[in-house]
Structure 1
Amino acid sequence: MLLPLGHLLLDGRTWSDFPDAIRAGSRSIWNSFWFASVAALLVAWVGALTSDRRGCRLAWLLFFLPGVLLGVVLISVFNRPWLGWFYGGSGVVMAALGLRYFALGWEGMRLAKRSVDADLQNVTDLSGVSGWQRWRHLFLPQAGWAMAAVWYVVYLLCLWDTETVVLIVPPGGETLALRVFNLLHYGHHSQVNALCLILLLLAVLPLFAGAVVSFLVKRRSQ
């Protein structure tokens, strides 16, 4: 891993093409971040709501299903004139990514909720607190970082995904991963290197943002 990363960072053409790659791929950069962050949020949220349902284990079949095949299934289901608003927009992409990685969100949230102190859960059950207060005062303080880690893992997988969305991406919805996939066939290696570097920056962006927020919260509490 260090060898290709070092080659990527030390290649002068990567940095010379970096500004042009940002200008030419600004729409793809936004699409990648938008699709990945929102899809990961939906997966984590639905996974948390359904973490107690054992039947959701069947979602692992969708995770191990080839992404292209999942795309074909979604095309056959949603390619209808009266569903054009959904099929021709970002909704079908969110649905594809959500279905593909829901099992990870469900399993991760299930394990995160199991890490919460059982005695405290019993106390909240007996006190009759609302669902929002239960999340705010019980789950988030004890399992917040675990839940954030679940979101981040799904975010990374959605960020780098190509096979799931390659057949269903709407016009103007090309992601950075798809842009890299397409440019590889034409030998634009310097541009591909620059786009890969942008993808890496998008991958570490949530970590940087989380570190900044954590620092500000700690500083404010002092």
Structure 2
Amino acid sequence: MWRWQSSRTAVVGAAIVVFVVCCVLPVGYLLMVSLSRVDAFSALLLDARQRQLLYNTALLGTGTALLATAIGAPLGIVLARIALSRKAILRLALAAPVLLPPYIVGLAWTYLGSNRGWLATLAGHDLLSAWTYSLPAAILVLSVVFYPLSMLATEVAMRRIDGRLEEAALMVAPPARVMSRITLPLAAPGVFAAALVIFVLAVSEFGVPGLLRVRVYTTEVFTAFAALYDFTRAILLAVPLLLLCLIVAAVAAALLGDRLVITRRSAGTRPALFDEWQRPATLGALVVLAVALVLPLAILVNEAMAAQSISAVLAGSGRAIANSLVLAAAGATAVVSVAVWLGYARARTARRMGQGADVLFTVLFAVPSTIVGVGLILLWNRPGPFGTVYGTDVMLLLGYLARFVPVAALALAASARYVPASHEEAAAVSGAGWLRTMWEIVLPQMRLGLAAAWVVAFVLAFGELGVSILVAPPGEATLPIRVYTLIANTPSSHVAALALLQTAVIFVPLAALGAAMSFRPSTRAQGVPSRVEGREAR
């Protein structure tokens, strides 16, 4: 269609170079440095302290994966197989907790269970303070945050199953047996892959274990690097966690295969397996929503109301708020500007190479944020041109690129696959260049995907803590850094007010995106037959 000398090669090649420098090089350089210190690494493995760290980290990931799957998978089955009123709104609300910074949910948990929290006040004596700062509490908080991943993965897996198989089975078997013998086995690979992703995200989390005083690898890496200034120990501590995350993420990506970028619905109609459970299912979904979203926000609102002047609290953190807004917007723009070309290239590449790219994107997104921060510092903190970047706000932008370009590329690859390649072929035959074709044909058809990718990148960058707290310039702070550092020595009402502001900033663009998606023209309104005619509206 276009020769390799075309502008497509230059643009996609430039995006690949930026991807390698920002996403691959920090992790690769960290591994290379660690390999040069094999003797110290061998001695570290024999340390009983590190074995306890490994145990805590593995238990945190496993417990979170199991509990989040236990919550999310049934909800995914409900959304896929039970007719519910206002299902689209319910799905969006149930998915909202995954976009909250986990440490904000952890902060609400401390206000609930501490010796001065809600429960202690209502009961008149301490109930849960000993359990509030513990490994089981961290598992509970992270499960409440990450269960939407299992829910959405389960729903997608269920919707890909040919409904005619279940309809045929229902003629000779009860619904429960059809579910256990046909539906669940077919959906199991997607559910298991989502559990592996949750495991990786849990062991990669820094904010919640640090807040709840749970010793895991991410908190030890931060302590060694930022508090003790023991760079060698920080690097060596990062390696076991990095290898664990890379292996598990690679397995998850391999299990998902093309499903990372292809969303194909099954043929046939939705079988009515559990429609008689409509009322209990709705009640269960509302209970999960109340615990995961409504309760944490209500706790933060109640705590913030104790502040004498919320406006004064916000004014005192005005610089951090402004920094976060500007940097998150700039970071989201940079992320989408790179990811759109990577996603396009992934969508147009051969299947085997594309699956390899999916694995690479998934693995890089799974790298813990503190490890990304250490890698960026090792790479850029040096004399010469690289050193001019270190100690500036550019390091924060590099951190956002390293963390969020892979996931944005996967999302935009899925969006690009909806644009038929025949449209580009027709433009090429008519003499249009590749850049003009992209600008006038491809990108306009991807505009909703681009907007969604920008909003998600903005939300993730605005709440990013692990990288930011390591690479932020001296004297500069984003809102997450300020909230996290104020927890220890500032009235809880002030911290809660700032956490609520951060939550509001996150939900406003999401609400705008949801409104834009709800008002987009439907295919029926344009006179085009719907491909899901006769099915339940999603």
TM-score interval for Structure 1 and Structure 2 normalised by the shorter chain: 0.7 to 0.9
CA gap 1:168/1:149 in 2 versus in 1, 3 angstroms: same
Identify unmatched segments of 5+ residues in structure 1. 215-222
Partner residue of 2:375 out of 50, 73, 77: 73
- Whether 1:29 and 2:332 are equivalent positions in the alignment is no
Over 3 Å counting, the alpha-carbon distance change for 1:134 and 1:167 in structure 2 is same
Cα 1:48–1:178 change in 2 (3 A) is: same
Which of 365, 369, 394 matches 1:63?
A: 365
Q: TM-score, normalised by structure 2?
A: 0.37
Q: Which of 140, 150, 171 matches 2:474?
A: 171
From 333, 336, 346, the counterpart of 1:44: 336
Pair 1:87-2:390 in alignment:
yes
Q: Cα offset for 1:135?
A: 3.3
Deviations 1:160-197 (A, max 9, x none): 11111211111233111111111122252111111112
Q: CA deviation at 1:64?
A: 0.9
User: Are residue 123 (structure 1) and residue 415 (structure 2) matched?
Assistant: no
Q: Is the 8 A contact 1:17 1:190 kept in 2?
A: no
Q: Percent identity?
A: 28
Structure 2 letter corresponding to 1:32: S
CA contact (8 A) 2:374 2:470 kept: yes
Cα deviation for residue 147 of structure 1 reads: 1.2
CA distance in 2, matches of 1:176, 1:14: 21
Tell me the equivalent position of 2:414: 111
Aligned to 1:98, which of 401, 405, 410?
Answer: 401
Aligned to 2:22: none
Q: Could you tell me which amino acid in structure 1 is paired with residue 424 of structure 2?
A: Q
Aligned position for 2:491: 188
RMSD, matched Cα: 2.6
Q: Deviations over 1:97-132 (max 9, x none)?
A: 101111111111111111113332322232232444
Q: Which range is displaced more, 121-130 or 36-45? A: 121-130
- Point out where structure 2 has 5 or more consecutive residues left out of the alignment: 1-292, 347-353, 518-538
Aligned residues: 214
| Per-residue deviation, 1:205 | 4.3
Per the alignment, residue 460 of structure 2 pairs with 157
* More moved, 4-13 vs 147-156: 4-13
The amino acid of 1:29's aligned partner reads: I
Q: Quick one: structure 1 residues 14 and 29, their matched pair in 2 at CA, closer, same or farther if it must change by over 3 Å?
A: farther
Q: Report deviation, 1:202.
A: 2.0
Matched, 1:8 2:8: no
For residues 111 and 192 of structure 1, the distance between their equivalents in structure 2, rounded to whole angstroms, comes to 39
Higher RCO (CA < 8 A, seq sep 6+): 1
